[in-house]
Amino acid sequence: MSETSSGPRGPMLARPAQGLSGRLAAPGDKSVSHRSFIFGALARGETRITGLLESEDVLNTGKAMAALGAGVERTGPGEWRVTGCAGALTTPSAPLDFGNAGTGVRLVMGVVAGAGVGADFVGDASLSSRPMRRVTDPLGEMGARFTTSDGRLPAHLEPSRLTGLSYTPPIASAQVKSAILLAGLGAEGETCVHEPQITRDHTETMLKSFGADIDVTRDGPACTIRLAGPQTLTACPVDVPGDPSSSAFALVAALIIPDSDVTLTGVMDNPARTGLFTTLQEMGADLTLQPGPDMAGEKTMTITARTSTLKGIEVPAERAPAMIDEYPILAVAAAFAEGTTFMPGLEELRAKESDRLAGTAALLAASGVSVETGEDSLTVHGAGLRGIEGGGRTATHHDHRLAMSGLVLGLASRAGASVDDVAMIATSYPDFFDHMAALGAVLEPV
């Protein structure tokens, strides 16, 4: 396993921008990258990965799978070879350290529980503050024996024998669904997850690619997924598509900065991930979407964004699962729209890397945006293009999406804006600063 470079650290200032332009390949999708390491490690045979997002979060997942017995080797930029264990993982000799990777730790908890081995799970201060019972409780119903620190990391798992479970997550969460399904691969009997509201479906798509016997039945907004265990995956190549969540920052910047024209290629086109683009189009965004090649079982597209006069709207609450990570940058777009944007159904934002709902409201208010929060809602009163004075500083609370959203707000405001730290951006988008500079943005340490 190789390390990523640490990248910029400390406070950063975004200067007011004029005319962002350029064409970029979208950064590799974080969700698919995590899963490519995990599924490759569980499979029989050798999995070749191209286009992997080499972020700190993803590499921590790769290190965990190597510690569990898989062969994990970097063969070039974004290119990796994973030699799988055919489901026969080994007990790691040290705690599995996931840093800030919430997706990694929750999915691997399911993997290790299903494999019948034990492990200790640890993370950084941010990850250690986040809830784990949403995963450990249903895994416990399957027979997993977890000991946690009041529902948080560090956590210890005793070797366990699992049986299948029928489960309806109380909160829509692809991480919870995925952890249960991955545990189900090693459990006796059928595992069934019923989603009243469909979440991102990368786990189901990739399980099919890796030869899993899995049934997915959709009924309007709901979905039921069934798989019988135990079963073993078969290695297959993975060409990672571009990440819609990371792509959102450059695209929204182009919409709200005058005289901008930005194109991103290879962006994943998955209905469970494209809620932001639908919402922006409803707000009047000038977005051109053109089909691209299929990658890792996913459709892709090329997206061009041009400066737009956006209008405030009410975002349907049922759309939240398809864009839950994009609400901070949507809120920034709403600040530069004309009129009020109301975003309900955001209770999941309270349990992200930070209380992302409160953090988003604070970063807007710091630069003069009129904003209101409810228990599960955000209301932003927009001021139009260049209508925000700026000058505020984002308190990131170690949250990469708040950091990048705060910088985009600064680029579009009259006085710029700063963030208190940018080190954590490398956990999800290590090329963020290079990409934004290539488009003409000025981001500098302060």
What mean pLDDT value characterizes the chain?
A: 95
**Which has the higher per-residue pLDDT, 177 or 7?**
177
pLDDT digits (tens, 9 = 90+) for 3-42: 444 678 899 999 999 999 999 999 999 999 999 999 999 9
**Which has the higher per-residue pLDDT, 398 or 3?**
398
pLDDT digits (tens, 9 = 90+) for 253-303: 999 999 999 999 999 999 889 999 999 999 999 999 999 999 999 999 999
Do the Cβ atoms of 68 and 92 come closer than 8 Å? yes
Return the pLDDT at 4: 47
Q: What is the mean pLDDT of residues 120-127?
A: 94
429: left (phi over 0), alpha (psi -120 to 50) or beta: beta
DSSP 351: G
Hey, which residues does 191 pair with through a beta bridge? Answer: 227
CB atoms within 10 A of CB 374: 12
pLDDT digits (tens, 9 = 90+) for 346-380: 988 876 666 899 999 999 999 999 999 999 999 99
Query: What band does 45 get if pLDDT is binned at 50, 70 and 90?
Result: very high
Return the pLDDT at 352: 67
Return the pLDDT at 348: 82
**Which has the higher per-residue pLDDT, 272 or 437?**
437
Return the SS3 of 243: coil
Return the pLDDT at 353: 61
Return the pLDDT at 326: 96
Q: Going from the N-terminus, what domains does the chain have, and what CATH number goes with each? A: 12-28+242-445 (3.65.10.10), 30-239 (3.65.10.10)
Q: What is the mean pLDDT of residues 101-117?
A: 97
409: left (phi over 0), alpha (psi -120 to 50) or beta: alpha
* pLDDT greater than 70 at residue 210: yes
**Annotated catalytic residue within 325, 399, 421, 431:** 325
Return the pLDDT at 42: 98
Catalytic-residue membership of 29? no
Return the pLDDT at 6: 61
The token pair at 337 is 């729209």
pLDDT digits (tens, 9 = 90+) for 143-172: 999 999 999 999 999 999 999 999 999 988
**Kind and range of the H or E run holding 73:** strand 71-76
* pLDDT greater than 70 at residue 305: yes
**Which has the higher per-residue pLDDT, 93 or 321?**
93
